[in-house]
Amino acid sequence: MAKVDNPYSEAISMMRRQGGKSVGSGIGIGTVISVSPFVITKGELQLTNADLYAYAGYAELVKGDTVAVALIGDQKYIILCKAVSLGG
């Protein structure tokens, strides 16, 4: 019996490769630009309460703080923690 290749496998493989290029790891650095209302930026994205989940201590963040942010679903992000640079 001859092996029959799935005609969709190459297309799916290509979509996975291309999708991985733009998504990356999904974790990035954001900056708090406002605490009331709560808004952070991650690259060119501006994320508000409707877009975010956060760790329990997020209320201690202040404007200008740097945070680690991860993509967790369709247009939803979680603030993992406050981040500080060790490089000066």
In three-state secondary structure terms, 20 is helix
Q: Which residues contact 63 (CB under 8 A, 6 or more apart)?
A: 32, 33, 34, 35
Model pTM? 0.70
Predicted local confidence at residue 14, as pLDDT: 73
- In the chain, helix, strand, coil percent, each to 5? 25, 40, 30
Q: What is the rounded average pLDDT of the residues 12-17?
A: 73
Reported as a single tens digit per residue, the pLDDT across 18-77 is 665 555 557 899 999 999 999 999 999 999 999 999 999 999 999 999 999 999 987 899
Predicted local confidence at residue 2, as pLDDT: 54
Residue 3 reports pLDDT greater than 90: no
Angle formed at CA 54 by CA 77 and CA 82, multiple of 5 degrees: 100
Cβ atoms of 66 and 31 within 8 Å: the answer is: yes
Q: Which domains does the chain have, with CATH numbers?
A: 25-83 (2.40.50.140)
